[in-house]
């Protein structure tokens, strides 16, 4: 079965190391919560808001063991007025036996405002 896993995180500033650390943290949490193996991932789409241009967040994935062959694409988020700034969003397309309702989407920092209905019950 093919499933989508969503996630997002905000960063305090537009600096390469800040963006890469936040992206890695987000991926680590998605991987852990959903027991994702790189070989089960068909593709990853990462978007950033227009105020984040210091680096490609996909660079953070290249440091994860086994993820170097996963296709990743970065894009800019639609600049909707009054949308959440400094935000990195991800969508993983994965092969999974989990039901759609069992997928754990991960929203961290101020990105928790985006989908409060999908928040995990544990504290972050």
Is residue 73, in this structure, part of any structural domain at all?
yes
Kindly report, residue by residue over 57-99, the tens digit of the pLDDT: 999 988 888 999 999 999 999 999 999 999 999 999 999 999 9
Rounded Cα–Cα distance for residues 75 and 21 (Å):
18
Catalytic, 3? Answer: no
Residue among 6, 21, 25, 33 flagged as catalytic: 6
Is residue 121, in this structure, part of any structural domain at all?
no
Average pLDDT over the chain reads 92
By mean pLDDT, which of 23-32, 42-51, 81-90, 110-119 is the weakest? 110-119
Which CATH number goes with the domain that contains 86? 3.30.1330.40
Is residue 105, in this structure, part of any structural domain at all?
yes
Catalytic, 124? Answer: no
Domain that includes residue 72, residue range: 2-115
Catalytic, 6? Answer: yes
Is residue 108, in this structure, part of any structural domain at all?
yes
Is residue 123, in this structure, part of any structural domain at all?
no
Looking at residue 121, what is its pLDDT?
43
Rounded Cα–Cα distance for residues 62 and 102 (Å):
27
Looking at residue 123, what is its pLDDT?
41
Looking at residue 119, what is its pLDDT?
66
Is residue 122, in this structure, part of any structural domain at all?
no
Residue among 29, 87, 107, 109 flagged as catalytic: 107
* pLDDT bucket at 120, cuts 50 / 70 / 90: low
Is residue 96, in this structure, part of any structural domain at all?
yes
Residue among 3, 29, 87, 89 flagged as catalytic: 89
Record the pTM.
Answer: 0.91
Looking at residue 55, what is its pLDDT?
97
Residue among 15, 16, 39, 62 flagged as catalytic: 62
């Amino acid at each position: 079965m093919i499933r989508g896993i969503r996630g997002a995180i905000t960063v305090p500033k537009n600096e390469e190391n800040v963006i890469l650390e936040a992206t890695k943290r987000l991926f680590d949490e998605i991987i852990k919560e959903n027991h994702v193996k790189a070989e089960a991932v068909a593709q990853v789409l990462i978007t950033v808001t227009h105020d984040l241009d210091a680096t490609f967040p996909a660079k953070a994935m290249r440091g994860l063991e086994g993820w170097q062959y996963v296709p990743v694409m970065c894009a800019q988020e639609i600049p909707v007025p009054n949308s959440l700034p400094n935000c990195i969003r991800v969508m993983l397309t994965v092969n999974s036996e989990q039901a759609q309702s069992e997928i754990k989407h991960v929203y961290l920092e101020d990105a928790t405002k985006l989908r409060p209905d999908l928040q995990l019950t544990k504290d972050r």
